[in-house]
Amino acid sequence: MGPARSRSRTPRGVRAAQYTALAGYLAFLAFPFLWLLSTAFKPARELGSLHPTWIPEDPTLGNFRQAFAEQPLAQAALNSLVAAVCAAVLAVALATPTAFVLARRRGRLATAATGWVVISQAFPFVLVIIPLFLVLKNLHLVNSLPGLILVYVVWSLPFALWMLVGYVRAVPPELEEAAAMDGAGRLRTLVSVVAPLLAPGIVATALFAFITAWNEFFFALVLLKTPEKQTLPVVLTHFLGAEGAADLGPLAAAAFLATLPSLVVFAVIQKRITGGMLAGAVKS
Amino acid sequence: MTAAAPAHTGRRAGHGAWFLVLPALIPILLLSLGPLLYGVSLAFTDAQSGRTSPTQWVGMLNFQDLLHDRLFWESFRIGLLWAVGVTVPQFLLALGLALLLNQNLRFRWLARSLAIIPWAMPEVVVGILWRLVYHPDAGVLNETLSGLGLAGDTDWLSGLATALPAVVVVGIWAGMPQTTVALLAGLQNTPHELHEAAALDGAGAWRRFRAVTWPAIRPVALSISALNLIWNFNSFALVYVLTNGGPGGRTRLPMLFAYEEAFRYGQFGYAAAMGCVMVAVISVLLAVYLAGRLRGGDT
């Protein structure tokens, strides 16, 4: 009702300006991505042309074939998948019980945990990665996926904890009390009453941890040395070549493929993330 | 005390529950606090990669060297320039956009769907994306400029004068959606009636913004800006892919500098000292921001 009234009240000139601004923003958001798409499907001849066009005149899948031929892309995608899935599952498995307790208590420990999340968001990673590198080297876990997964779990724990605490708080404690009154034990209450209500939050947190690990670059760059061990973001940088003399077509094709999984996952959980994550990041 | 106790205390989870906390707290403490303390202690040693003789305690030596390291302070200056250069315009643009999206406009859904793209993309891909846009020959930017009759042969990322501004634009693009969504969430918590009442009282758009909108979104605006400043100061992947710190160090952010010291030249102790200095600066930023929030009040 309110919005409908305000539509009729807004002067026509203001409306026009608003739509122009919106169009400008949409163009700003979309054009680099559309250019990536366009480049990915252009044959080499068109990429070398003096006047590149938006729509490929002679679209081709050759860049995708060439990308897979030039770099171990499939292996890299598999490595990324393994690292991201393991990190997400482990982080959520470790964080869920803790989140449950922290959400129901408002003591000093809960405050300290929250403070730790804020601080961990503000870290220059170089200070953490040097000691981690030394420790992992002693454990012979440098240049190995398990070493990277370990780092990802630790790195995503504080945030997973924070998101989950929010989801647990949203479950009314009265439900647990009611279950206890009905004679259900603590574990049963957790499993049959709380867990089903918490499941969507747990899934959202796991997916978020998955995307962060899938997209992560710095730790992977430092820890993974040989191409067959490296994750997708690191392998993508190999397409850039020395001195930026990049083969643009395959570069664009590979970059486009690397983005698809996170775009899909993100589209699914976007609503939950904006709720959970921003509540976490913004209300301190 | 016993298993039955939680039933009437409600919010308390019982002492047995601490067993649930240990599986996450122990790794957090061991694996995040541990490396942090280890990292700080490394800053006072001469630790190097591939070193055969034992690592020596060198006191403040690394910090004294840092004090005289012109390149480090230059990277620091660039880091601050970059962080402010991204955060401030990004905030203003995102605020305008959030106000716009809070209106009853068609195609709002399109803006929301498109906003996912920069947000969900790996930073490496964002870097690649913009390298394609900025490419001197095959890039869309130069092609568009020459189509408009302007010079269209600039090598944006390699020019001494253009590299940093070009990289800053990418930083703004990459973080816009997050900032916008945060501000939009703040706006949607503003009671609509207050606006209507102010409008009925004859307050103009600017007065309504000052008196109603800004006070409502101020906490969110401050938080997201402080976080953005810190995140940007610490950023790495985007600029690594775009310019790798070039040309001539014009975009060498502190993280890029520390990364090179540690993992190209193997100077672990020295790089750890850089990390400590960065933490110190970030703590100042955090403290200023927290003090501002605690003092409260408007303007």
Comparing A179 with B250, which gets the higher pLDDT? B250
Chain B closest-CA separation from residue A217 CA (Å): 6
Inter-chain residue contact B28 with A158, CB threshold 8 Å: yes
Q: Averaged over B69-92, what is the pLDDT? A: 95
Q: What is the pLDDT of residue A43?
A: 87
Q: Does B160 contact chain A (CB < 8 Å)?
A: no
Q: Mutating which of B32, B128, B240 best tests the A interface, going by the most A Cβ atoms within 10 A?
A: B128
Cβ-proximal residues to A80 (8 Å cutoff; 6+ apart), any chain: A213, A214, A231, A232, A233
Inter-chain residue contact A217 with B123, CB threshold 8 Å: yes
* Distance, CA of B179 to CA of A281 (rounded, Å): 11
Inter-chain residue contact B11 with A263, CB threshold 8 Å: no
Secondary structure of B20-51 as H, E, C letters: HHHHHHHHHHHHHHHHHHHHHHHCCECCCCCC
Cβ-proximal residues to A235 (8 Å cutoff; 6+ apart), any chain: A71, A72, A73, A76, A227, A254
Residue B284 CB neighbour total at 10 angstroms: 10
* Distance, CA of B132 to CA of A37 (rounded, Å): 11
Q: What is the pLDDT of residue A125?
A: 85
Q: Which residue of A157, A251, A258 is in closest CB contact with B122? A: A258
Q: Does B197 contact chain A (CB < 8 Å)?
A: no
Dump pLDDT digits (tens) for B147-195: 888 877 788 988 899 999 999 999 999 999 889 988 888 888 777 777 7
* Distance, CA of B232 to CA of B255 (rounded, Å): 10
Among chain A residues, the shortest Cα distance to B11 is held by A104
Domain A70-273 annotated CATH 1.10.10.10: no
Comparing B244 with B219, which gets the higher pLDDT? B244
Instruction: Please state the pTM of the whole predicted model.
Output: 0.87
Q: What is the pLDDT of residue B292?
A: 63
Confidence of residue B15 (pLDDT cuts 50, 70, 90): low
Chain A with chain B: Cβ pairs closer than 8 A: 290
Structure tokens at A190: 């957790």
Confidence of residue B11 (pLDDT cuts 50, 70, 90): very low
Confidence of residue B19 (pLDDT cuts 50, 70, 90): low
Q: Tell me the mean pLDDT per 10 residues along chain A, length 284.
A: 50 86 88 90 80 82 89 93 96 86 73 71 84 90 93 86 85 79 76 83 91 94 93 93 72 92 82 54 42
Inter-chain residue contact A120 with B259, CB threshold 8 Å: no
Interface of B with A in 32-71 (CB under 8 A): 32, 34-36, 38-40, 42, 47
Inter-chain residue contact A122 with B282, CB threshold 8 Å: yes
Domain ranges for chain A, please list them.
Answer: 12-60, 70-273
Find, among A119, A15, A53, A101, the residue nearest to B106 by Cα: A15
Q: Does B82 contact chain A (CB < 8 Å)?
A: no
Dump pLDDT digits (tens) for A1-34: 444 444 446 788 888 888 898 898 888 888 899 9
* Distance, CA of A281 to CA of A109 (rounded, Å): 19
Among chain B residues, the shortest Cα distance to A262 is held by B120
CA distances from A167 to A8, A195, A199, A265, B243 (A): 40, 11, 9, 19, 41
Q: What is the pLDDT of residue A284?
A: 35
Q: What is the pLDDT of residue B13?
A: 45
Cβ-proximal residues to B159 (8 Å cutoff; 6+ apart), any chain: B247
**Prediction ipTM score:** 0.86
* Distance, CA of A5 to CA of B200 (rounded, Å): 14
Q: Which residue of A36, A121, A174 is in closest CB contact with B132? A: A36
Q: Does B129 contact chain A (CB < 8 Å)?
A: yes
Q: What is the pLDDT of residue B274?
A: 94
The mean pLDDT value of chain B amounts to: 84
Comparing B258 with B288, which gets the higher pLDDT? B258
Chain A closest-CA separation from residue B83 CA (Å): 13
* Distance, CA of B189 to CA of B211 (rounded, Å): 15
- Poorest-confidence range of A70-79, B34-43, B260-269, B285-294? B285-294
